[in-house]
Structure formats: structure tokens, C-alpha cells
Structure 1
């Protein structure tokens, strides 16, 4: 009987420890590491944001805070280790604004690959990136393809939310502004932050600067890197003052559900790394037969 009680006590303590295991990389201890790797299925979440102006009413770290908070909510129910704050992305179009942190393109490519290498070196076989910045997708997609430049012992996944007709219906009912003009620090982003960090939002300041398209560059079928500044010199595109908590909750709940599903898929995945290694083997053996 005494032996049974001891066994039960050990099991209960182990279960309690598993529940209390921190999710943030920087909050884990070194002795937690093996348990964190096992519980996460060797999966690390890498939230990527930016430091840039978000109108006159939102914080510079809006995008970083956004994905950090979404990740934090998801891993409470679907365990994974979350990498600390990462804000080294593409943001050259906002260098004229105070508080912008912009690094050279070559450096951000090298830094992200080196970061993933270090995450992999610490035992993670799967890295899932969740991006919060609208200026990052092209950079991140190129980064992903560039990972095939050499063998890596880990797989990287870039979360790309799909369309959801039911969500779009609810979203259309709640929003107050034209979605085609709601591009940066407008109703959607500000509503999201009202749900995540209302203490950082000052909706009443949303009208202090114009978020309208200034249409200063009348070109068609041509791309120039100055296009964003030409249209939105205030680095603000939309009407942040129209934001609501109700819309923000709808967006956040939808994002949490979508990323939870993606994280579960990554944790269960056994094929990506296998196929990746098969690819590298064929590259290494090319021309040897």
C-alpha cells in the first residue's frame, strides 16, 4: 500500500510539473530543457514582428506584441516553446519615422538563418514562424526557399492563414471602414490590440494624423520601393479611431484557433524533415553515379 501511495505521489508531481512547465524559452531553466523538448514534440514557435510607427495611437511594437500574445494564448493549450522577442525584419519603408529599427537586408537574412540554426542546435527539429508584420511576407518566403541552400537538421514552417468564409461574414458585419483602405494601424490592427493590450492603445489620437492615401505617384503597372511613402507619408493607412473591442475579440479568437490548428499539424508532422533529408541526399549525390 505504501509503495502504491509513493508511486501515485510521483505521478501526480510529474503531472503537476508538466502543467507548470514554462512555454517561453527565456523562462525555462536548463534542467527543464529535456522535458520541454519532449512535451513540445521538439517544436519551437518563432513569433516575428517589427519596431515601426503605427499611427499616432498605437505602440511601435504593435506587430511584435500581436504575434507574441497570439503565440502565448495558443501554447497554453497546445504546448510548444516560444522563442523570445524577435523584431529583425524588413522595414526600410519606415526609416524616416522615429523608433523604427531597420537592419540591412543581407543581415536580416543571415540573422534569421543563424537564429534557426541555434534553435535547431538546442534540440528542436521543427520551427514554426508566425509573422505579424505586413512588410515581411516576401522576405520570409524568400528566406524559406533559401533554406534549401544547405543541409539543415530541422524543418521550418511559415504559418500562412487561409480564407474562412464564415469568419469573413462576421468580420464584415462588425467592421466600420472600407477594407481596401485599412492597410496599416487602421481599424483592424487597432481593434486587435484593443483585445490584446488595451492599455497601450489611445483610440482618441487616431485622428491626429491622416491615414488616407495621398496619391502622390501616378504610375500604373510599375513598382518602385518608394510607393508606400508616396501614398502614406505618415506611415498610417486607415482609421484607427474606428476600432472596437468587439471586432478585436473576433479577430483574436479566429487567429488563436487558426494557429492552434497549424501548431498541432507541425507537432504531429513526420514527413517534412524526412522529405527534406531525401532532397539533401539527392543534392549531395548528384553526379556521383
Structure 2
């Protein structure tokens, strides 16, 4: 009778335990692993940020904190496993500022592929990268294309939200500063972290340095890697002091809704890996017939 009651109690508690399954990789136990793989449909979210100055008022890990917090909120309702903090991206343009963590290009490339390989080795077949750093897209696009260099038993998806006219209208109505140079630690980024982690933002310091374009280079149809430093030597572009909680909440709500949809699509996707394997098979058999 005692065993029967214990069985019934465990039966009723099982859904509760399932709901409490941690979402962060580092908070799961080895015993949790099969359940996490099943519940996530073998999907792992990889938030990528950076460590760099964000004006005089925002945290060095601003970009990482941003995507980490968005991912944490999304997976509460759409379960996936979130990889621990990853800040190994491209940030050479901020090496003159204290707190910047910049690694060689070949190393960050190898580290990201090795990380994806290890995520795949642990049973995940779908890896979703959500990037928070404006200096990473070129690196990430090249990385994504280069994944076809050899067979992988997983698919990688780079989340890139599409243009949303209705959201743009909401943003324009609330935006107080010039959006043309609201690029780094300005009103938008500061508002976002204000909504996610208000304890890390010091708006009162935002006016201590200039975030205006210094326009120290006058080149037409030419690109140079020093362009950012030439324009924004303080590693600050925008007016962080114009940030508002209202704008931050609009941004955060939109990002959560958008990433939730993308994550659902990834979890339901059966074609990407199939087509990837078809591609690898044709590469392997090229010239054999």
C-alpha cells in the first residue's frame, strides 16, 4: 500500500518536475540531460555578446547581458537549453578602451566552431545563435558559410529579425534622440538594458563623454578599419541620457515575441539538416560516378 501511494505521488509530481527542468546548460544535471534534449527537440540557444566599453554609463557586458536576458525569458515559455555566457567575438575596434576582451580572429573562429561541435557532440542537432554585438555580423556570416567546409551532424541557425513597420512606428514615436547615430550605448541600447537590468545602468553618467560623430575622416566610397575610432573615439555613439523605461519595454517585448517565433520555427524544422546531409553526400560522391 505504501509503495502504491508513493507511485501515485510521483505520478502526480512528474509534470511539476518537468516544468522545473532548468533551461541553462550549466544549471542542468547530467541526469536531467535526456529530458532536456527531448523537451527542447535537441535545440540549444547560443547567445553571443562581447566585453567592451558602452559609454560611461552602461556595463561592459551590455551586449551579452542583452541577448542572455532575452533568451532566458523566451525559453521559459518555449523550452530550449541555453548555452552559458559566450563573449568571444570580434572587438578589435575597442582595444584602446579598458575592459575590452579581444582575441585573435583565427582563435575566435576556431572557438566558435569547436563550441558548436561540442554542443552537437552532447546530442543537440539544432543550434540557434542570437547575437547582441554590432561588430559580430560580418564574422558570423562568414562563420556560417564556412560551416559547409566539412560534414557536421548539427545545423546552425543565425537569428536575424526582419523589418517590422509597426514596431518601427512605435520606436519612432518614443525615440527622443537622432536615430541616425544611435548606434552604441545610445538611447536604444541604454533603454533596453534599463528594461532588462536597471541595476546596471547609470543614466546620470551618460553626459560625461560625447557620443557624437567626430567626423575625423572624409572618405568617399572607401572603407578603412579605423572608421569607427575616427568617428567615435569614446566608443560611444548616441545619447544614452535620453533612454527611457517605456522605450526599453517596447524593445524587449518585441524582441521576445520575435525570437520566440524563430525558436518555434527551429524546433519544428526538419528540412535544414536533411538538405545539409544531402549536400554533404553529393560533395563526398563528387567524381565517383
Instruction: State the Cα RMSD in Å.
Output: 1.3
1:118-133 maps to which residues of 2 (within 5 A)? 118-133=118-133
Q: Would you say 1:94 and 2:98 are equivalent positions?
A: no
Q: Residue in 1 aligned with 2:157?
A: 157
Q: Residue in 1 aligned with 2:183?
A: 183
Deviations 1:249-276 (A, max 9, x none): 0000000000000000000010000000
1:21-32 maps to which residues of 2 (within 5 A)? 21-32=21-32
Name structure 2 gaps, 5 residues minimum: none
Q: 1:11 to 1:114 in 2, by over 3 A?
A: same
1:199-218 maps to which residues of 2 (within 5 A)? 199-218=199-218
How far did residue 57 of structure 1 move? 0.2
| Matched position secondary structure for 2:156 | strand
Q: Would you say 1:275 and 2:257 are equivalent positions?
A: no
Q: Residue in 2 aligned with 1:84?
A: 84
| Matched position secondary structure for 1:90 | coil
Q: Residue in 1 aligned with 2:262?
A: 262
Alpha-carbon distance in 1 for matches of 2:8, 2:40 = 24
Paired positions, count = 289
Alpha-carbon distance in 1 for matches of 2:218, 2:23 = 49
Q: Residue in 1 aligned with 2:226?
A: 226
Q: Residue in 1 aligned with 2:238?
A: 238
| Matched position secondary structure for 1:162 | coil
Deviations 1:189-216 (A, max 9, x none): 0000100000010001100000000000
Question: Bigger CA drift: 88-97 or 162-171?
Answer: 162-171
Alpha-carbon distance in 2 for matches of 1:100, 1:11 = 51
How far did residue 38 of structure 1 move? 0.2
Instruction: Give the TM-score normalised by structure 1.
Output: 0.98
Deviations 1:60-113 (A, max 9, x none): 000000000000000000000000000000000000000000001110000000
Deviations 1:22-47 (A, max 9, x none): 00000000000000000000000000
Question: Bigger CA drift: 7-16 or 175-184?
Answer: 7-16
How far did residue 4 of structure 1 move? 8.8
Alpha-carbon distance in 2 for matches of 1:244, 1:138 = 30
Alpha-carbon distance in 2 for matches of 1:203, 1:164 = 28
Deviations 1:139-168 (A, max 9, x none): 000000000000000000000000111111
How far did residue 9 of structure 1 move? 3.4
Moved over 3 A (4+): 1-11
Alpha-carbon distance in 2 for matches of 1:130, 1:7 = 42
Alpha-carbon distance in 2 for matches of 1:128, 1:8 = 38
Name structure 1 gaps, 5 residues minimum: none
